[in-house]
A and B are shown apart, each in its own frame.
Chain A
Amino acid sequence: MADTDQMKTIADFWTKAGNDVSAAQQKMFKDFADGMSKALLFPILPFASGSSTIENAGDSFRQLLLSSLKVTDAISKGTLKSETADGLTTELLQKIFDPREWLSATGYMDETVRRITEGPKFSDLGQIENKALTLFQAFSETRRRSLEQSSLVLAAWTKAVSEFASKLNEAAAANKSFGSRSEIVSLWVEIGNRHLLEVQRSPPYLETQRALLQSSSNLKLAQQDIGDFYNDVFGLPTRVEIDDLTRTVAELKRELRTEKRRWRSANKE
């Protein structure tokens, strides 16, 4: 493989991966909106977009992802001095450069929040349109905030790759080689880590984190509200009732422990 082929392979992979991520996000929203419009008695699309905020967030994310691909110009200029087809190195580097890896690994908060707040899917919406709408709006808000966070992470990743490509270019210009896989990986880890840590501490990221936590809490409460509605209909304990009982038991236990301590102290005397 020629000098530039290795980086070009990575850049090509990145282009494809970036397009895949972007297209998948758009398809998800379209499919969901289509599904909702068939399930409900009235058009959901105006609500599905949340006044176009989700479409805007998704579009912004797509634009950012596509614009970040311009960095491939910088990458393609860089060269590795290795004159052999180190397919394993290329595959490894592709994996750690893959934006999907970054977004899934460092968008951990997004994945975790999504996983622990995903509740029951809509089935019978006959009597609880309002609650369902509240739930969907909470879901939409969570998705919007998640996309915002992903955008920030991707922006940091773009900067990291740009710096990494510059370092490779500098090395190439100075006729220096990165002969070993571990040297290349160490350089990427240092650069990537620094950019990620910097974005974590930035006000926009912190604000998005806070908003994402807020929206996921609202989503969980909306799910709970629907669950309690059905439980009440079918004569089952609701979450509110169980929490009331839990509080009563906790207070009773506290009093019991206090009395036991008093009894032990009195016994000693």
Chain B
Amino acid sequence: MSHSEASTNPDLSQVLGDVTDLGKKLVGGARLLGEVRDEDVEIGTTPKDEVWRSDKVILYRYRPFVERRLKEPLLIVFSLVGRYTIVDLQEDRSLVRNLLKEGIDVYVIDWGSPSRADRFLTMDDYINDYLDGAVEAIRQRDGVDRVNVLGICEGGTFSLCHAALHPESVQNLILIVTPIDFHARSADEPLGHGFINIWSQNLKPEDVDQLMAAYGNLPGELMGSIFASMTPMRTMLKYNLDLMETAGDKQKLMNFLRMEKWLADRPHHPGEVAKQWIKDLYQENKLIANTFNLGERTVDLKSVTMPVLNVFALDDHIVPSAMTRNLDKHIASREYTELPLSAGHMGIFVSGKSQAILGSSLAQWLLKHQST
């Protein structure tokens, strides 16, 4: 084929360009991947110190960046599914850093890595013992009456229950991508959203019991598989086509690897907690009905009286926004604010667009609602 034929045929030129481009990326990517070691892929690097521990649960305090502006410290409570490090994935994608820069004193709970030895821990243990213990530790350490609590996903559900049972210890409550009404769906929900609801509600209660009897806990690998199945083609292409697109750019490659490191770290979900999560909440929706029991107490959402900021993601395929909205109908707070963001479930913490909004919005709201 002559040069003139190549240059005048748009299809051929484009394909040749594509192939050349891809070839360059492949060569560069292979070299970069060969140079990167596991220790080079660091996540959750913002400096922090352990200040309290109970069994496997550890409370950390992040070292401040600037002078403190907010009177009450903020406790971040993540889910048992996945690790809290998503809120501090890397320097330029860190909700923690953004809050520290705003003069917020930030603590975080690390739930640890549950094993079969933890299979009989219940939600009552996590909420009324560990979470409340952490809140109490912060109150004593900082000499404050109340603490701001920021709950994420299942951690948000825990935080909401805690606020209902211990309203005297919570100054403000922030919820991010938190499932509240587990049966709420919207008619215009995209096809790929809400598969966890469908999957869990399809199981019989005895299936859940048998799964926990067999494995002790809800295996982290199983949860990871369910999440991966919600974006099937993306899962299939992630390690070939997608990786080829990013491999030639070191920054993109490192971003990809950090995210992968976080995704690969899937702790097991303690068996009894998993049973309650699936049966009491996903299947029977007890929280909204005010029939959800933790130990000897029933969670009454009307006991939530402190200011609440409810942040949710409009493109959340894991916890569709219908499950998170309209909490004000169920609580007694007189100050309730919703903040919808155009992002996905975890994208809300790591997307460039969210970075510019989330940290500053939370800080402004907290400063407005601190005690006088």
Contacts and interface: CB of A to CB of B under 8 A. Distances in A.
Interface of A: 81-84, 86, 88-89, 92, 95-96, 101-102, 105-106, 108-109, 112-113, 115-116, 177, 179-182, 185, 189, 192-194, 196-198, 200-201, 206-207, 209-210, 213-214, 216-218, 220-221, 224, 242-243, 246-247, 249-251, 253-254, 257, 261, 264
Contacts, number: 148
B225 A246 contact: no
Nearest to B219: A116
Contacts of B18: 89, 180-182
B339 interface: no
Contacts of A88: 19, 22-23
A253 B211 contact: no
Nearest to B228: A108
B27 interface: no
A89 B235 contact: no
Nearest to A180: B14
Instruction: Give the interface centre of B1, B195, B221 by most chain A CB atoms within 10 Å.
Output: B221
B106 to A, nearest CB: 25
Contacts of A115: 221
Given A95-B240, A179-B14, A206-B202, A196 B210 contact: no
A224 B216 CA distance: 12
B258 to A, nearest CB: 22
A254 B216 contact: no
A243 to B, nearest CB: 7
A217 B217 CA distance: 12
B239 to A, nearest CB: 9
A249 B233 CA distance: 45
A102 to B, nearest CB: 7
A83 B9 CA distance: 9
A63 to B, nearest CB: 24
A108 B238 CA distance: 14
Contacts of A112: 221-222, 224-225
Contacts of B232: 105-106, 192-193, 196-197, 200
B133 interface: yes
A243 B15 contact: no
B214 interface: yes
Chain A at the B interface: SS class: helix
Given A84-B16, A108-B235, A246-B120, A179 B213 contact: no
B264 interface: no
Chain B at the A interface: SS class: helix
B11 A116 contact: no
- Ranked nearest first, the 6 interchain pairs of A and B with the lowest CB-CB distance are A105-B236, A220-B214, A250-B120, A179-B11, A217-B214, A193-B233
B289 interface: no
A231 to B, nearest CB: 15
A209 B199 contact: yes
Instruction: Give the interface centre of B192, B195, B207, B229 by most chain A CB atoms within 10 Å.
Output: B229
A46 B118 CA distance: 42
B211 A96 contact: no
Nearest to A191: B233
A200 to B, nearest CB: 6
B192 A193 contact: yes
Contacts of B24: none
Instruction: Give the interface centre of B22, B125, B203, B236 by most chain A CB atoms within 10 Å.
Output: B236
Given A84-B12, A84-B16, A243-B119, A221 B214 contact: yes
Nearest to A220: B214
Interface in B229-275: 229, 231-237, 240-241
Contact of A189 (B12, B119, B237): B237
5 contacts: A84-B1, A109-B226, A189-B237, A194-B191, A200-B229
Contacts of B233: 189, 192-193, 196
B129 interface: yes
Given A108-B229, A194-B191, A257-B129, A181 B119 contact: no
B192 A197 contact: yes
Nearest to A194: B191
B119 A200 contact: no
Given A200-B195, A246-B116, A254-B129, A84 B236 contact: no
